[in-house]
Structure 1
Amino acid sequence: VDDDEAMLAEAAEMPQMHPERRNPEEIALALLTAQLGARRIDEG
């Protein structure tokens, strides 16, 4: 039990690596736009 509590305390002190999660589709589109000039097909 002590190991579990120590592990939880350590995890709580660690900075969050990804405080904001982005939509994977937005990330993929941003990469494609930057690299290939791609654009959304649903834009009208």
Structure 2
Amino acid sequence: MTTYVCKPCNYAMSREELVDGKCDECGGPVKAIPLLTSDRIANK
């Protein structure tokens, strides 16, 4: 599973929520983050 995080506003969304590759909240660019990677970042 992959989480998508908006760079400008940090809003996280799933693949189902992602529309046109833009953030639901602010319409900014979204980056795909594999869950394993985000878990490692959160643990640091």
TM-score (norm 1): 0.33
Q: Which one has the largest radius of gyration?
A: 1
The structure that is helix-richer by fraction is 1
Higher relative contact order (CA 8 A, sep 6+): 2
The structure that is strand-richer by fraction is 2
TM-score (norm 2): 0.33
